[in-house]
Amino acid sequence: MATITTTKKPPRAPETPETPAWVLWVNDHRKWLFAAPAMVFVAALLVFPLAWTGYLSLTDAEGSVRADSDFVGLRNYVDVLTDVERFWPAVGRTATFTVAALVFEVVLGMAIALLLWRPFKGERWVRVAILMPLVATPVAVGMMWRLIFDPNIGMANQVLGWFGIGPQPWLAGQHSALPTTIFIDVWQWTPMVALILLAGLTSLSEEPQEAARIDGASTWQRFRHVTLPLLMPTLTVAVLLRGIDALKTFDILYATKGRGGGSFHEVETLNVYAYGLSFDYNEYGVSSTVLIIFFLIIIGAMWALTARRKEARR
């Protein structure tokens, strides 16, 4: 008898017969049951700390994290925003670092992506080479360049010597340290931009290229008026992803110049400054103020970039 009843029904799946009520409930509410744990995890680590940072920025908290602190209103903000010794130079360095690194990485990344665009023999090896810098640990990369850029024993000055150029101070120089760290960032992250742009190029269709060629467009004209506009969405993603990370750069700077971004604060960006205030000097109130301002700058930059992206889509 049992065989007859089963053959009448659609093929049995293990869950279907007498499905318990809780299984039905779980299935009906899967949308939030699936999404909530991850969201709660991130929100717990994000929202509360940010609110806490906001609160601390209005206090004179310093010393131990458990010590009492007094509410001081906006005094920290006034102090920080009028601080031309450390704060504003740090803002300037953050902007210089981010913009310079981004410009070099996008231009060079685009060049490398175009070089790799059409298939060729040995492509595999070049792709492997491109991957190496960007999976390397940034702290180790910082140490590696410290040796290469060492003014006395470093290879960089040796190479310059071959071309008759005198030794440079690189990371040790008050004015050359920041450009040198930008160079390191460009070395490590240009491959990332190149890979993203290459993925974009590979997904482009051939027809617009062909059409432009038949119309007699030169290589440059094809790049400028066909490839580049079509690649714009990908380029924006690359700029957005890399820009955020460049803005957050800490490892390379701290690994090469240490606390305070060197004795003249020559590579002290907002990240390094805030980190130093928090964990080298335990000035939690002031550091929170710096971070809130930094945070607002990031939100502003993001907003400007996404607005730009929406415009590009139209």
Asked whether the beta carbons of 182 and 172 are under 8 A apart, the reply is no
Separation of CA 116 from chain center:
24
- Structure tokens belonging to residue 175: 């004015």
**Residue with Cβ nearer another protein (92 or 233):** 233
Q: Is 12 in the site for another protein (CB under 8 A)?
A: yes
Q: Is 221 in the site for another protein (CB under 8 A)?
A: no
**Residue with Cβ nearer another protein (78 or 159):** 159
Q: Is 52 in the site for another protein (CB under 8 A)?
A: yes
Q: Which long-range contacts (CB under 8 A, 24 or more apart) does 301-309 make?
A: 301/243, 301/247, 302/240, 302/244, 305/236, 305/239, 305/240, 305/243, 306/240, 308/236, 309/233, 309/236, 309/240
**Residue with Cβ nearer another protein (31 or 175):** 31
Q: Is 147 in the site for another protein (CB under 8 A)?
A: yes
Q: At closest approach, how far in Å is the CB of 185 from another protein?
A: 13
Q: How far apart are CA 99 and CA 137, in angstroms?
A: 23
Q: Please list, in sequence order, all residues whose beta carbon lies within 8 angstroms of the beta carbon of residue 265, skipping any fewer than 6 positions away.
A: 86, 89, 90, 273
**Given 3-state DSSP classes, what are the helix, strand and coil percentages for the chain, each rounded to the nearest 5?**
75, 0, 25
Q: Is 304 in the site for another protein (CB under 8 A)?
A: no
Q: Is 14 in the site for another protein (CB under 8 A)?
A: yes
Cβ neighbour number for residue 220 with a 10 Å cutoff:
8
Q: Is 56 in the site for another protein (CB under 8 A)?
A: yes
Asked whether the beta carbons of 265 and 91 are under 8 A apart, the reply is no
Q: Which of 4, 13, 21, 84 binds another protein (CB under 8 A)?
A: 13
Q: Is 16 in the site for another protein (CB under 8 A)?
A: yes
Q: Please list, in sequence order, all residues whose beta carbon lies within 8 angstroms of the beta carbon of residue 235, skipping any fewer than 6 positions away.
A: 106, 110, 197, 200, 228
Q: At closest approach, how far in Å is the CB of 1 from another protein?
A: 21
Q: How far apart are CA 314 and CA 308, in angstroms?
A: 10
The pair phi, psi for residue 2, each rounded to 5°, is -60, -40
Query: Binding segment for another protein among 69-77, 85-93, 172-180, 293-301 (CB under 8 A)?
Result: 293-301
Q: Is 59 in the site for another protein (CB under 8 A)?
A: no
Q: At closest approach, how far in Å is the CB of 92 from another protein?
A: 17
**Residue with Cβ nearer another protein (33 or 74):** 33
Q: Is 58 in the site for another protein (CB under 8 A)?
A: no
Residue 169 DSSP SS3: coil
Q: Which of 58, 246, 247, 286 binds another protein (CB under 8 A)?
A: 247
81-140: contacts with another protein (CB under 8 A): 111-112, 115-116, 118, 120, 125-140
24-43: contacts with another protein (CB under 8 A): 26-27, 30-35, 37-39, 41-43
Q: At closest approach, how far in Å is the CB of 9 from another protein?
A: 9
**Residue with Cβ nearer another protein (4 or 135):** 135
